[in-house]
Homo-oligomer: A and B are copies of this chain.
Amino acid sequence: MSTTPTVYDVAERSGVSIATVSRVYRTPDSVREKTRERVLAAARELGYVPSGNARGLASRSTGVLGLCFPDLSDPDTETEAAAADADDDHAFMLYSDQIIRGMERAARRHGYALLIAASLKGGPESLVAKVAGRVDGFAVLSRTVPTEDLDVISRRLPVVMLAGPRENDELDHLDHIEVANADGQRELTRHLVEDHGLRRLAFVGGEERSPDAQARFLGYREACRAAGLPVREEPDLRAEMMTQAEGARAADELLDRADAAGPPPDAMLFANDQMAIGALHALERRGVRVPDDIAVTGFDGIPLSRLVRPALTTVRQPMRQLGEEAVELLVRRLGAEREREPVDLMLPVSVVRRASCGCGRE
């Protein structure tokens, strides 16, 4: 128990060479059964586990894929009370959780494990760099890794960027998967206008620098234009964090504005479900009926969206699939298609019509 056993120990104990021990673990069939059993027995007795590091070093591969995602919550900020209270989080968390799930499953299918790390600051000794050195390929959620790091890393191993538009000019040699944000919002908007006959729309967006929120806004605008509705340059409101609280506030403000200056909107479109759900609460408090008085829509398709009353009409993002596709892409890059042109996938989204827009079924 003092020193962890190595191939040498196992070899000695079972009277074979280290090469044979190695073979027992890599290609068991290439070793005579009796020999193999002797080796395995010795390994068991010694408590031998092959060192992944040594294997990786010698074989130049790790059998691990990586994922870097944004660090959403400060690990130290959260008190126990806050944690208990933050059931709200659960829905939010699912964003990266789903990707993790998707990647894990696809990775497993291909015999890979998954290494995950929330992004930290960059720099030589960042977690990112550490991860990069320990995987055969990895996926990066938009804007979680400094461009410069990505540039260096991607020279050494395949990298696929997830969600968000292809941001940086210098990273156009990377594979990239995104979700059809604009398409989804456009189609959703079209639905409100054409199928429900709504015409006084209000759109609540996110930060200008949030590519997803921005793409959704653009989709909204396109639909407005196509429908001959007035087209604004800016969302009616923007929210920093796109939380429920902000959504509630936005709903209130839109209504207050209307009280002061004209008819209220007959539909509020939010750039994500969280805000839409917050708005639902705010409207309920004011006695405004959804969808009778006003339609409300979200974006994301988080589980919560199905459960609130009225159930939220939204656009479902295939996050799990995003994770799976990412792995497929990486695996391909690690195989035959090393040198293929950069891929650019756009995953289709689907409008989920529920009660909050006036559609019948829940």
Q: Which residues of A contact B (CB under 8 A)?
A: 1, 4-5, 24-26, 28, 40, 43-44, 47-57, 62-64, 71, 73, 75-76, 83-84, 87, 90-91, 93-94, 97, 100-101, 104-106, 108-109, 111, 113-118, 120, 124-125, 127, 129-135, 148, 151-153, 155-157, 303-304, 306-309, 316, 320-321, 350
> What separation, in Å, do the CA atoms of A104 and B119 have in the docked complex?
11
* B4 with A125: CB separation less than 8 A: no
- Provide the residues of chain B in CB contact with A76, threshold 8 Å: 109
- Provide the residues of chain B in CB contact with A130, threshold 8 Å: 52, 63, 113
Assembly stoichiometry (copies): 2
Given A62-B134, A108-B118, A133-B52, A127:B113 Cβ within 8 A: yes
Main secondary structure of the interface of A (DSSP, over half): helix
> What separation, in Å, do the CA atoms of A24 and B28 have in the docked complex?
42
Instruction: Name the residue in A26, A49, A104, A135 with the highest tally of chain B Cβ atoms < 10 Å from its Cβ.
Output: A49
Instruction: Name the residue in A63, A133, A316 with the highest tally of chain B Cβ atoms < 10 Å from its Cβ.
Output: A133
> What separation, in Å, do the CA atoms of A76 and B217 have in the docked complex?
36
> What separation, in Å, do the CA atoms of A51 and B303 have in the docked complex?
40
Closest residue on chain B to residue A352 by CB atoms: B84
* A129 with B49: CB separation less than 8 A: yes
- Provide the residues of chain B in CB contact with A5, threshold 8 Å: 156
- Provide the residues of chain B in CB contact with A64, threshold 8 Å: 115, 134
- Provide the residues of chain B in CB contact with A47, threshold 8 Å: 151-152, 155-156
Given A24-B124, A28-B124, A152:B49 Cβ within 8 A: yes
**30 A-B contact pairs sorted by A residue (CB < 8 Å):** A4-B156, A26-B125, A28-B124, A44-B148, A47-B155, A49-B129, A49-B152, A49-B153, A49-B157, A50-B129, A52-B130, A52-B133, A52-B134, A53-B56, A53-B57, A53-B62, A54-B57, A56-B134, A64-B115, A71-B108, A73-B105, A75-B105, A75-B106, A83-B320, A87-B303, A90-B303, A97-B100, A100-B100, A105-B118, A113-B131
> What separation, in Å, do the CA atoms of A93 and B26 have in the docked complex?
33
Closest residue on chain B to residue A125 by CB atoms: B25
Q: A93-B101, A100-B116, A105-B118 are in contact. List 14 more A-B contacts (CB 8 A).
A: A44-B152, A47-B152, A49-B132, A53-B133, A55-B133, A90-B94, A97-B101, A104-B116, A113-B115, A113-B127, A113-B134, A116-B116, A134-B134, A303-B304
- Closest approach, in angstroms, between the C-beta of A99 and any C-beta of chain B? 11
Closest residue on chain B to residue A66 by CB atoms: B113
* A51 with B90: CB separation less than 8 A: no
Quick one: which of B44, B108, B308 contacts A127, CB cutoff 8 A? B108
Instruction: Name the residue in A55, A113, A127 with the highest tally of chain B Cβ atoms < 10 Å from its Cβ.
Output: A113
* B316 with A84: CB separation less than 8 A: yes
* A114 with B117: CB separation less than 8 A: yes
- Closest approach, in angstroms, between the C-beta of A342 and any C-beta of chain B? 15
